[in-house]
Chains A and B, each alone.
Chain A
Amino acid sequence: MVEIPSGSAGAIPAAEVEDVELYHPGSWWTKYVFSQDAKIIAVQYSMTAISIGLVALVLSWLMRLQLAFPGYFAFIDADHYYQFITMHGMIMVIYLLTALFLGGFGNYLIPLMVGARDMVFPYANMLSYWIYLLAVLILVAGFFAPGGPTGAGWTLYPPQSVLSGTPGGKDWGILLMLSSLIVFIIGFTMGGLNYVVTVLQGRARGMTLMRMPLTVWGIFTATVMALLAFPALFVACVMMLFDRVLGTSFFMPAIVEMGTQLQHGGGSPILFQHLFWFFGHPEVYIVALPAFGIVSDLISTHARKNIFGYRMMVWAIVIIGALSFVVWAHHMYVSGMNPAFGFFFATTTLIIAVPTAIKVYNWVLTLWRGDIHLTLPMLFALAFIVTFVNGGLTGLFLGNVVVDVPLSDTMFVVAHFHMVMGVAPILVIFGAIYHWYPKVTGRMLNDVLGHIHFWITFLGAYAIFFPMHYLGLLGVPRRYFEMGETAFVPPSAHTLNIFITVMALLVGAGQMVFLFNLVWSLFRGREAGGNPWRATTLEWQTPQTPPAHGNWGKDLPVVYRWAYDYSVPGAAEDFIPQNVPASDGVTREVSA
């Protein structure tokens, strides 16, 4: 670490761009409903995402009830079970995690953290939310359509997804799912362009890219990836829609359905898998990178210590983002492909472990000899690290072709991806909500309720997903409605299934504590003040809390230092905000 004496940071360049002219709402409708303010849009995105996420949570309960007590609940038949699985997966991955991290946290934090008044195109930003809402409504319409939602699995693999054997395949289900995805991508593109341009072109004076908080780096990189990965999903959805509606054969081989030869022929189901996973694998990191970024800031702030290896953290985010575009076929080891490809994709997959491990080491080294405050955000951040390491290690198993082949389509895979891209990012979301709720509302979330919520969620998630590894090693397949008489599955597996289901119900119920806390604290929470965590980043330095329209009052902030000046030797406080001039404290710059 290089110490640079104060005053040597150099003069801050003059403003290159004149101050932005904001749209000033004239009525209640344009202020709170059709708002062009990124902060309102962020809350709208978050509330919609959490609401649809609750639907997915209930669906997971229903699935677990069927797995633990097969045949006991008459209304869960095989068709319903597959519909629950499909909708649970799709909602969680796209409509909850992607929308909440990018649309929710991205909208709230990017303009505040880079010192902008708003997103660069507030009108397009507003449209982005309303189109997202439309996508959610189309998705939900599937539950009420004739035949119900699609039951094709969240990967929607053809040909089964558009055949009559699959729920929704010949009804409305698959049509609504594909339309909803197409609409979602259009809406996301409008928002995503905003996030990227705001970070690249809309920063405050003095805010260089290498002074941005890692939260912004994570969300920014994830958004760039989303803009390049979603096109593949868009194309795949359009083509499958044509296969289903117009009778084309992009993905449909010659096939016999229920004894009838269909008109299709010559299409390639593998082509869909390639398109889907070219989107699908980056999607994993679209969800993970914002979590990486946010958790870095939570750890640094609540351990009162600068993040270890800031530059390495930034480059690790960028390298992970780039590599994730060349690993997609590791989802297709059992689909049949040239063994040389398997070798290539296994290699790239394992290379990703290097920058990821760098990040984990840096988080741990940030904690090392830090002044760790076991606040709720810190607890969730710690929980994230252990969960992510756990899920990441099983990823090394599944990234190898020879290990993946026997484990493919078992509960081991379910355990792996729920740990690594389900539980881990959700823990970060909770931590982030406990961290930034005071800025959004001006009040703290209740600490006791928060601790109850944390321990139920953290221990419960392990109780749910840890035994699934064991089930997978036993060979229990995933996506099976019921096991029936299966010689290789011992009775203990069934007992374990009951345990998992009870835990799932408990953890789900535990989330009600969180929701109650959100509402209760809005009215009864302790007044937070402007900077309750004594954090350095710009969003805590706003003149008002919650920040007003335009964020900064008359003058835009000027940034003099990086985002991690915690416990600087010789400084009066244990934190120096980014907008404090160099002469007012010791300046510490990042070393390479």
Chain B
Amino acid sequence: MAQTIGTHGEPDLRPAGLRGVAADFASDQRAFKTASWGKAMMWIFLLSDTFVFGCFLIAYMTARMSTPVAWPNPSEVFALHIGGQDVPLILIAIMTFVLISSSGTMAMAVNFGYRRDRRTTAILMLLTALLGACFVGMQAFEWTKLITEGVRPWGNPWGAAQFGSTFFMITGFHGTHVTIGVIFLLIVARKVWRGDFDQERRGFFTSRRGRYEAVEIMGLYWHFVDLVWVFIFAFFYLW
């Protein structure tokens, strides 16, 4: 399903710019002429998910701005004691680096997928999943460290109780997203490896033909999870 018009070499007669957008929305069949059903669905889901994370972050900002109690200092709380001195935000810097890198490997996987390079695509997806799993692992380490230092959802030694509750809730919710992403990366990587998308093998539940586009849709989700992390990083660790 969903071959893009204008990709078979014939001239694309659609007007450019805003007129093009208006023409597409005024046309029949599809409003987004180059998006397949799956891609459109993922974009709209991500829009909805943006509102979820947006609400979480706004709730966090409200709590932080309205609390009369001191907010713990992130550079001290999130510092690691390495080589005799406290290095602020070192762990979180590594975590961010790992997650951003995984976006790079994901983008490469999408590229190799469309070149129908089964092996490289699968390896890059597995690498992405590995980086994602590393991220979740480091997050588990960070949680453990904070818990041993006495941070709880209902309180912490340094100040406002909402610090722990918002921290665990928001990073936990993001970590869940990463974990779900890793699981789906493994599932799609297996399908790529097995050649499902080359043979257009039908889905077990959906009986739809498999296409390499699945890799790109998976990538959309993964980049979104990365992007959300940038906001969490900025609002939680740098504020």
Contacts and interface: CB of A to CB of B under 8 A. Distances in A.
Nearest to A279: B55
Interface residues of A, number: 58
A201 B30 contact: yes
Interface stretch (A105-113, A239-247, A428-436, A502-510): A239-247
B52 A17 contact: no
A209 B26 contact: yes
Interface stretch (B89-97, B188-196, B202-210): B202-210
Contacts of B66: 268
B37 A120 contact: yes
Interface in B1-25: 1-3, 5, 25
Contacts of B51: 227-228, 231-232
Contacts of B32: 200-201
Give me the 9 closest cross-chain CB pairs, A-B, nearest first. A248-B165, A231-B51, A235-B55, A247-B154, A231-B52, A120-B37, A227-B48, A246-B153, A123-B206
A114 B170 CA distance: 40
A16 B30 contact: yes
A2 B159 CA distance: 70
Given A123-B203, A201-B29, A266-B67, 6 more contacts: A21-B1, A21-B207, A193-B45, A193-B48, A227-B47, A230-B48
Contacts of B41: 120-121, 193-194, 197
Interface in A1-17: 12-13, 15-17
Interface stretch (B56-64, B108-116, B131-139, B228-236): B56-64
B138 to A, nearest CB: 23
Given A250-B63, A271-B63, A207 B28 contact: yes
A201 to B, nearest CB: 5
Contacts of A211: 28
A16 B29 contact: yes
B169 interface: yes
B59 A205 contact: no
A235 B33 contact: no
B48 A231 contact: yes
Contacts of A227: 44, 47-48, 51
B40 interface: yes
A211 B25 CA distance: 12
B77 interface: no
B160 interface: yes
Interface in A262-314: 263, 265-268, 271, 275, 278
Contacts of A22: 207
Contact of A17 (B3, B44, B67, B160): B3
Contact of B28 (A205, A230, A267): A205
A203 B169 contact: no
B105 interface: no
A22 B164 CA distance: 49
19 contacts: A15-B29, A16-B33, A21-B208, A122-B206, A192-B48, A196-B44, A201-B32, A206-B28, A227-B47, A235-B56, A236-B55, A238-B169, A248-B162, A266-B69, A266-B160, A267-B63, A268-B63, A278-B55, A559-B28
Contact of A193 (B44, B68, B161, B209): B44
Given A21-B207, A23-B207, A209-B26, A248 B44 contact: no
B209 A21 contact: yes
B48 A235 contact: no
A249 interface: yes
Contacts of A266: 63, 67-69, 160-162
A204 interface: yes
Nearest to B33: A16
Contacts, number: 153
B1 A18 contact: yes
Contacts of A230: 48
Contacts of B209: 21
Given A23-B206, A232-B55, A197 B40 contact: yes
B165 A250 contact: yes
B25 A121 contact: no
A349 interface: no
A15 B37 CA distance: 15
Given A203-B29, A209-B26, A227-B48, A17 B59 contact: no
Interface residues of B, number: 51
Contacts of B165: 242, 246, 248-250
Contact of A208 (B27, B44, B56, B206): B27
Contacts of B36: 201
Nearest to B57: A235
A512 interface: no
Contact of A121 (B5, B49, B68, B206): B206
Chain B CB within 10 Å, residue with most, of A197, A228, A267: A197
B187 interface: no
Given A15-B29, A18-B1, A247 B153 contact: yes
A334 to B, nearest CB: 20
A17 B1 contact: yes
A202 interface: yes
A265 B68 CA distance: 11
Nearest to B208: A21
A184 to B, nearest CB: 14
A175 to B, nearest CB: 16
A328 to B, nearest CB: 13
A16 B54 CA distance: 36
A393 interface: no
Interface in A27-84: none
A122 B207 CA distance: 10
Given A21-B207, A266-B67, A248 B154 contact: yes
A76 to B, nearest CB: 37
A20 interface: yes
A556 to B, nearest CB: 10
B147 interface: no
B67 A239 contact: no
B37 A248 contact: no
Given A121-B41, A197-B37, A250 B48 contact: no
Contacts of B154: 246-249, 263
A189 interface: yes
Contacts of B62: 268, 271
B91 to A, nearest CB: 24
Contacts of A201: 2, 29-32, 35-37, 40
A15 B67 CA distance: 59
A193 B217 CA distance: 15
